[in-house]
Amino acid sequence: DVVMTQSPLSLPVTLGQPASISCRSSQSLVHSDGNTYFNWFQQRPGQSPRRLIYKVFNRDSGVPDRFSGSGSGTDFTLKISRVETEDVGVYFCMQHTHWPWTFGQGTKVEI
Amino acid sequence: EVQLVESGGGLVQPGGSLRLSCAASGFTLSSSWMSWVRQAPGKGLECVATIKQGGSDKYYVDSVKGRFTISIDNAENSLYLQMNSLRAEDTAVYYCARGSGISWGQGTLVTVSS
| Nearest residue to B46 via CA among A41, A105, A27 | A105
Residues 6+ positions from B10 with CB-CB distance below 8 Å = B18, B109, B110, B111
- Which residues of chain A does B62 touch, with a Cβ-Cβ cutoff of 8 Å? 100
Q: Is B106 on the interface with A (CB under 8 A)?
A: yes
Measured between beta carbons, which residues in chain A are less than 8 angstroms from residue B38?
none
Kindly tell me the sign of the dihedral angle through the C-alpha atoms of B102, B105, B108, B109: positive
**DSSP 3-state of B103:** strand
In order of A92, B35, B46, B51, B110, the CA distances from B60 in angstroms are: 21, 10, 11, 9, 18
- Please report, in tens digits, the pLDDT of each residue of chain A (111 residues total): 999 999 999 999 999 999 999 999 999 999 999 999 999 999 999 999 999 999 999 999 999 999 999 999 999 999 999 999 999 999 999 999 999 999 999 999 998
CB-CB under 8 Å, B102 with A101: no
CA atoms within 13 A on the CB side of A5: 7
Is B91:B110 a contact under the CB 8 Å cutoff? yes
Q: How far apart are CA B110 and CA B114, in angstroms?
A: 13
Kindly list the residues from chain A whose CB atom is less than 8 angstroms away from the CB atom of residue B102: 51, 54, 60
Strand segments, DSSP code E, in chain B are 3-7, 10-12, 18-25, 34-39, 45-51, 58-60, 68-73, 78-83, 92-98, 103-104, 108-112
Nearest CA in chain B to A40: B101
Q: Is the bond leading into A64 cis (omega within 30 degrees of zero)?
A: no
Mutation target among A36, A42, A51, A58 for the B interface, most CBs of B within 10 A: A51
- B46–A contact, CB cutoff 8 A: yes
Is A50 within 8 Å of B45 when comparing Cβ atoms? no
- Per-residue confidence of chain B (114 residues) as pLDDT tens digits? 999 999 999 999 999 999 999 999 999 998 999 999 999 998 999 999 999 998 889 999 999 999 999 999 999 999 999 999 999 999 999 999 999 999 999 999 999 999
Q: Which of A100, A101, A106 sits opposite B44 (nearest CB)?
A: A106
